[in-house]
Structure 1
Amino acid sequence: MSPVSSRRFSLGEICDQPWCPQVIRDAVTDFLQHSTNAWGQYTSLLPTLCYFLQKTKSQRVVDLCAGGGGPWPTLYRTIRRAFGASFRIILTDRYPNHAALRLVSDASCGSIVFREEALDACGLPVDLTGFRTLFGSFHHFSDVQAKRILQDAVDSGNGIGVFEMTNRQAVTVLTMLTAPFFVWLHTPKIRPFRWSRLLLTYLFPLIPLVVMVDGIISCLRSYTITEMTELTASLAGAPYEWEIRELSAPRSPFPLIYLIGTPKPS
């Protein structure tokens, strides 16, 4: 099936807006974290991620736009076995979901920690070093912002990995229309428990609606491999090696696209 559009849309997700109520935003990131780990959506990239972490001799990961924890409750176990108990995963977000991140951190035996303050992926503190990752969030940024994120990784000498599950194919966009069903199905299993989540899912179904709308917008804003390649081609500074590919994803008919950049050996 053909793409809905040959160009990215410039729409903005509801949860990205400052006026979005925190109770809605946290509920949406809770659902995304739960579903991502329940379906193991990013497990197929673990060998690739481990390879590049080893290549860059990274001692920690700095995850940007972590929301409620992303796929790390599943991925960290493999990372911990491969790199030891001292390896750290630091979760950051512009709108951190504190309750969810605290649960993820507590369950990881110290492997996962999070920053409580709001951090913008386009401007990280200079002391926050490590291999940077963005799971299902790169499409939230405009071309200018996306280039700034990649350029900042190059300027700081940190490796970076971008992993996306959405695309602009019509079938992917149409699939998002089924999102409310999965929200209704999975809500009783989501932790931390919140009465507000039940009310806003079943009685006043704002959460299913926002998940569906933001899912559609995310698809329409997704970068293609060609567009990612163009972003990396325009970067300045120290030479970097860029790998941009597709992988199959468990329980998904849609491919996982990744972009990984690492400093070129001197």
Structure 2
Amino acid sequence: MSHKPSKPLIPRLQVFEIADQLWFPSLLRKYMQAALTAAWTTYIPHLQQSSPAGIVARLLSQPNLLPHSPSKYVFIDFCAGAGGPTPQIEKHINSSLTHHHSRKSPQVSYAQAAARPEPVKFILTDLHPHEELWSAFASASPNLTFIPESVDASNAPASLTQQQGKKVFRLFNLAFHHFDDTLARKILKNTVDTSDGFGIFELQDRTIGGGFVTCCLFGVATMLLAPYYAFVWKSPLALVFTYLFPALPFVLVWDGWMSSLRTRTAEEVEQMLRGCGGDGVEDWVVKSGSESFMWPVGKVNWVVGYKK
């Protein structure tokens, strides 16, 4: 069940995150991105109700959230990084569409097959593309593509925002808190002027439970699961930077705390949207909520906006 996140006790602060710095080693940044992707996509039965990526997919598929079905949109991740949750969101949404249709029509005729819902398309983009990583995701799904060139979310090219009769929905997964107020308004204005909707999804907020405690638990989980992920990533060095020189858990926790201080509430996002100067912004609807994926503090906090 969706509910409103708690009101933060402190104002938003544009503090720095270690992994954003140019001097931060690329190998550690790679491990951090992989760890954050794991936080989005891992599902532990009996401990979690769903993975966070699964929650986002379910939200976007709900008939009462967006004015149109998911198949009417192209979902563009404007800050895809190393891939993040978007490949899993794509898989969840298209699998649920197929499952729902086959359950309604167990013996599919030719006419029924023609009436199947159209697969939902997703596109990965970023200011700093990860072409090699994205290629692997794209090769695993015909519904996932990427833009190999740099894409500025505050000035998206028309070739990207004009999708042959489809509506454009922008995704910001664990990303919108990185933008300062000036850049955030520019991105929202460009969204209003060239797109039909957006979704901001964060795993932290400016509360003690949703910020400080959640990030500490993430650091503990990193320490516990490091051997498994070192095997999955085929990189024993992950163990070195977790146990011998614990740079990885330290930076994950520190940057998590800083991310919490930078995260905007739904009210703050809507206020920026209304004041961004976009054409017809008064006709946009904003919805928000918080969905639990792990008791007691694991939550996906979301803000969704769309044209009426």
Query: Fold conserved (TM > 0.5)?
Result: yes
CA distance in 2, matches of 1:195, 1:44: 32
In structure 1, the partner of 2:252 is 211
CA distance in 2, matches of 1:136, 1:47: 17
User: Could you tell me the TM-score, scaled by structure 2's length?
Assistant: 0.75
In structure 2, the partner of 1:188 is 227
CA distance in 2, matches of 1:189, 1:111: 29
Percent identity reads 26
RMSD: 2.6
**CA distance 1:151–1:2, change in 2 (3 Å):** closer
Alignment partner of 1:258 is 2:296: no
- Which of 9, 21, 28 is the matching residue for 1:24? 28
> Partner letter of residue 249 of structure 1?
S
Alignment of 1:85-96 (within 5 A): 86-96=119-129
Which structure's CA Rg is the greater one? 2
CA distance in 2, matches of 1:18, 1:85: 42
Q: Deviations over 1:133-162 (max 9, x none)?
A: 011111111122111111111111332111
In structure 2, the partner of 1:136 is 174
**CA distance 1:126–1:195, change in 2 (3 Å):** farther
CA distance in 1, matches of 2:58, 2:218: 29
CA distance in 2, matches of 1:262, 1:2: 24
Deviation of 1:53 after TM superposition, in Å, equals: 7.7
CA distance in 1, matches of 2:289, 2:303: 9
SS of the residue corresponding to residue 172 of structure 2 reads strand
> Partner letter of residue 62 of structure 1?
I
Deviation of 1:255 after TM superposition, in Å, equals: 4.2
**CA distance 1:65–1:204, change in 2 (3 Å):** same
> Partner letter of residue 234 of structure 1?
G
Q: Deviations over 1:91-148 (max 9, x none)?
A: 12234445543443333x2222233334333332221123110111111111221111
CA distance in 1, matches of 2:153, 2:244: 35
**CA distance 1:97–1:247, change in 2 (3 Å):** same
8 Å Cα contact 1:4/1:220 also seen in 2 = no
Segments of structure 2 that go 5 or more residues without pairing to the other structure are 1-5, 44-50, 99-116, 162-167
User: Could you tell me the TM-score, scaled by structure 1's length?
Assistant: 0.85
In structure 1, the partner of 2:48 is none
Q: How many residues align?
A: 262
CA distance in 1, matches of 2:183, 2:238: 32
**CA distance 1:246–1:86, change in 2 (3 Å):** closer
**CA distance 1:18–1:127, change in 2 (3 Å):** farther
8 Å Cα contact 2:137/2:144 also seen in 1 = yes
8 Å Cα contact 1:242/1:262 also seen in 2 = yes
8 Å Cα contact 1:4/1:169 also seen in 2 = yes
Deviation of 1:20 after TM superposition, in Å, equals: 2.2
SS of the residue corresponding to residue 12 of structure 2 reads coil
8 Å Cα contact 2:18/2:255 also seen in 1 = yes
SS of the residue corresponding to residue 256 of structure 1 reads strand
Deviation of 1:86 after TM superposition, in Å, equals: 4.7
8 Å Cα contact 1:29/1:97 also seen in 2 = no
- Which of 45, 52, 61 is the matching residue for 1:41? 52
Q: Deviations over 1:17-64 (max 9, x none)?
A: 233222121111101101210040142343431243835864421102
CA distance in 2, matches of 1:221, 1:74: 26
Alignment of 1:65-144 (within 5 A): 65-81=79-95, 82=97, 86-107=119-140, 109-129=141-161, 130-144=168-182
CA distance in 2, matches of 1:164, 1:17: 21
**CA distance 1:249–1:23, change in 2 (3 Å):** same
CA distance in 1, matches of 2:74, 2:67: 9
CA distance in 2, matches of 1:59, 1:158: 9
Alignment partner of 1:249 is 2:292: yes
Deviation of 1:163 after TM superposition, in Å, equals: 1.4
> Partner letter of residue 127 of structure 1?
S
Segments of structure 1 that go 5 or more residues without pairing to the other structure are none
